[in-house]
């Protein structure tokens, strides 16, 4: 979701890469909830951070504590930013309760990405 919003807010000002310390594929609920907000992430992929170790990043943003604590060292002078969001994929309850968890996290991510984009150099 962060990737989708950063592409949306930054337009062509930056190359956005998205990766994790594990790959799980796209979550269909995340795709659906982003579509509700007009952002299509259906073409995104689930990549491992090791695929990008040779790229000289300006920023490295981690969005969950597990990734922050276990992310491999990436050499360079990138500004590292951490903001932990709850993982909506771990939400339980009825389908509507789960989707509401996704919406809540999506809205928080949107605010974070909007603010980041406004301060982007």
78-112: per-residue pLDDT in tens? 999 999 999 999 999 999 999 999 999 999 999 99
User: Where do the domains of the chain lie?
Assistant: 2-118
- CATH class as words, domain 2-118: alpha beta
64-85: per-residue pLDDT in tens? 877 667 676 777 899 999 999 9
This prediction's pTM: 0.90
Q: Per-residue pLDDT averaged across 110-121, rounded?
A: 93
- Contact between 72 and 54 under an 8 Å Cβ cutoff? The reply is no
> Which pLDDT score, from 0 to 100, does residue 99 have?
98
How many other CB atoms are found less than 10 A from the CB of residue 53?
13
Query: Distance between CA 40 and CA 44 in Å, rounded?
Result: 9
5-27: per-residue pLDDT in tens? 999 999 989 999 998 888 888 99
């Amino acid at each position: 979701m962060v990737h989708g919003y950063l592409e949306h807010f930054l337009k062509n000002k930056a190359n956005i890469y998205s990766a994790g310390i594990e790959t799980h594929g796209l979550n269909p609920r995340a795709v659906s909830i982003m579509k509700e907000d007009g952002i299509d992430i259906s073409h995104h992929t689930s990549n491992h951070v090791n695929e990008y170790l040779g790229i000289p990043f300006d920023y490295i943003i981690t969005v969950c504590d597990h990734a922050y604590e276990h992310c491999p060292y990436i050499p360079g002078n990138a500004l590292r930013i951490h903001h932990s969001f709850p993982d909506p994929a771990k939400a339980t309850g009825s389908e509507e309760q789960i989707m509401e968890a996704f919406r809540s996290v999506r809205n928080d991510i949107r605010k974070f990405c909007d603010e980041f984009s406004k301060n982007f150099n």
